[in-house]
Each structure stands twice: as structure tokens, then as C-alpha cells.
Amino acid sequence: MTVFELYKKTSQALSFGGCGEFEAKVIFEDILNLETKPYDYASVTASDEQIELVKEVIERRKKGEPLQYIAGKWDFYGLTFYVGDGVLIPRPETENLLECVLKEIEHISNPIIFDLCSGSGCLGITAAFLRPDSKVYLFEKEDKAYSYLLKNLERFNLKNAFPVKCDIFDFDFSDLPDADVIVSNPPYIKSDEIPLLQAEVKFEPISALDGGKDGLNFYRCIASRWISKVKNKGFVALECGDGQSSDVLSLFSNNLSEKKVIFDFNNIDRIVVFRI
């Protein structure tokens, strides 16, 4: 069998999710590390190792394991992050949240940014990478997610990003400077909706998904504790789930100078922003 034939077979085998061609492309580029397009290998015989590896990947995919975990990395806002068991896969809609923050800090020099519930670090690390004059603190509680955060920090070798292993519900932040911006994509799924999630999402850690009975536990924590750590005229940008924005807004004081909801590309109320 040629490499190109193997590619076409992979694409067919993975067509159950409707993205066979895309998945085959990721497998060949990121897992088999082929440097050019599959049809360039139309007359190259596939090795036994390549055939075995592809077989194994197809089996794992059929069991619902996310392609991103199998590849071990995923792109976010043009940067590549390590991902795997125990860490949330960066989502395209979260790029909107980052854009919101980047726009906000355009006019602030040396901004201090807190990324609460940072997971892989996709939000905080990208902000630190794009704004070397910033100082970004990334807060994460879970061991596995934290180890990916450290790996990703090492990958980008940033001098302006600081990981903090903690539980945001009781962390004593008094030694840290006040923040210009708090950004967070916290767990926000209602506990009783977790069993209904699609197979791929269930491979992701519950600790990254479960926002408590009404999905709002983390917003309550941010509204009651962390808001006091934001500078006057500072900014808070939070991702939320479909239909949650008005409940999230209601948790924050009416005294804030600005409260706004931003909709994503699917017209879902995805981001809530506040100005102190």
C-alpha cells in the first residue's frame, strides 16, 4: 500500500464524524510527520510502522478519544500548545476572549493580567507572548493540567508569565500586584449535564467542565473574591456557556461602570465583560 492509499483509507475510516479528510490530514502531518502533501507520496510504499500507527490512531478515535489528545498538541491563536489527558483542549471560541483582552490592553503599558483557571495556558501564555511588556499570572489547581501549563510555559520560554498552583476559591492573593485585567474561561457546565456531553468531551477532565449545580460556582467566586483585586477602571472578561450571560451579569455588582455581553460566531452569548 502506498502512503497516499493509506491516507485515503484513513480519511474513509474516520468519516463517521464528518471530518475524515481533516482528521487524516492532521494524522499525516502531526503524527506521521509527513513534510509535504499526501499525494506527493503516491508512489511511496507505506512502512509497517506507519500502517500500525495509523491503525492504532483509528482505533483510539473510534473509542471517542479526541484527535487533539492523540496528536499531543493543538493550535490556539496561531501558537501551538501541548495538550493531552487531564487538560482542556483550547477551543476556537476562546480566541474571541483573548481578542477582547488584547484589545483592552492596547492602550495600557506593562499591563498586569490574571488568567484564572488557566489549564493549558492558552489564554495567558498567548497574551504574554504577544505583549512582552505585560506580566501574566496563570492560576491552575489540578496536577495534570498544571503540568501541561508548565510544559507550555517552557515551550515559549517566557520571562513575563508566572504559574501559580492554587485553588482560586481560597488562594491568598495579597502578595500579588493588582490586575489591570482578569480573564477566565472557568468550568461552567451544570453538574447534571456532564453525563449528557458528547463522547470526545467526556475524555476531558470533569474538573475543567463542572461549574456546580447551576454552572455558576466559579463566577460567584470571581464576583465575590477576585473583583477586589482589579485596579480602578480595570477590566474583567469571562467566557460563559450558551444562555448563561444574564445569570453571570447578575452576580456582579450594579456599581460597575460597564457590563457587556459579546456573542460568538454561532451567535451564542459567549463572553461577559465588566469594567470596575
Q: What's the rounded Cα separation, in Å, for the pair 38 and 48? A: 17
For ligand SAM (CB under 6 A), the number of binding residues is 22
State which of residues 113, 117, 158, 182 lies at the interface with ligand SAM (CB under 6 A). 117
Nearest approach, Cβ of 42 to ligand SAM (angstroms)? 38
Asked if 98 contacts 121 with a C-beta cutoff of 8 angstroms, the reply is no
Q: What's the rounded Cα separation, in Å, for the pair 83 and 149? A: 9
135-140/112-116 β-pairing: parallel
Asked if 241 interacts with ligand SAM (CB under 6 A), we say no
Chain residues 177-216 in contact with ligand SAM, contact rule CB under 6 A: 185-187, 207-208
> In terms of Cα–Cα distance, which of 187, 188, 182, 276 is closest to 237?
182
Asked if 96 interacts with ligand SAM (CB under 6 A), we say no
Asked if 126 interacts with ligand SAM (CB under 6 A), we say no
User: Please, how many CA atoms are within 13 Å of residue 201, restricted to the half-sphere of its CB?
Assistant: 12
Nearest approach, Cβ of 168 to ligand SAM (angstroms)? 4
Asked if 240 interacts with ligand SAM (CB under 6 A), we say no
Q: What's the rounded Cα separation, in Å, for the pair 66 and 63? A: 9
Q: Give me the residues paired with residue 165 across strands.
A: 140
Nearest approach, Cβ of 203 to ligand SAM (angstroms)? 14
Q: What's the rounded Cα separation, in Å, for the pair 84 and 87? A: 6
Compare residues 39 and 169 and give the one whose CB is closer to ligand SAM: 169
> In terms of Cα–Cα distance, which of 44, 7, 42, 43 is closest to 26?
7
Binding to ligand SAM by CB under 6 A, coded x per residue (else -) over 35-74, reads: ----------------------------------------
CA distances (Å), origin 48, targets 12, 14, 20, 45, 267 = 20, 20, 22, 9, 47
State which of residues 13, 32, 57, 88 lies at the interface with ligand SAM (CB under 6 A). 88
**What is the helix (H) or strand (E) element at residue 108, kind and residue range?**
none
Nearest approach, Cβ of 198 to ligand SAM (angstroms)? 16
The one segment of 88-96, 125-133, 247-255, 263-271 that binds ligand SAM by CB under 6 A = 88-96
The one segment of 7-15, 125-133, 134-142, 253-261 that binds ligand SAM by CB under 6 A = 134-142
Asked if 84 interacts with ligand SAM (CB under 6 A), we say no
Q: What's the rounded Cα separation, in Å, for the pair 2 and 46? A: 5
Asked if 264 interacts with ligand SAM (CB under 6 A), we say no
State which of residues 90, 111, 163, 215 lies at the interface with ligand SAM (CB under 6 A). 90
Angle CA(69)–CA(74)–CA(76) in degrees, nearest 5? 145
**In the block, which residue shows the cell 463566577?**
219
Residue nearest to ligand SAM (CB): 119
Contacting positions for ligand SAM (CB under 6 A): 88, 90, 94, 117-120, 122-123, 139-142, 145, 167-169, 185-187, 207-208
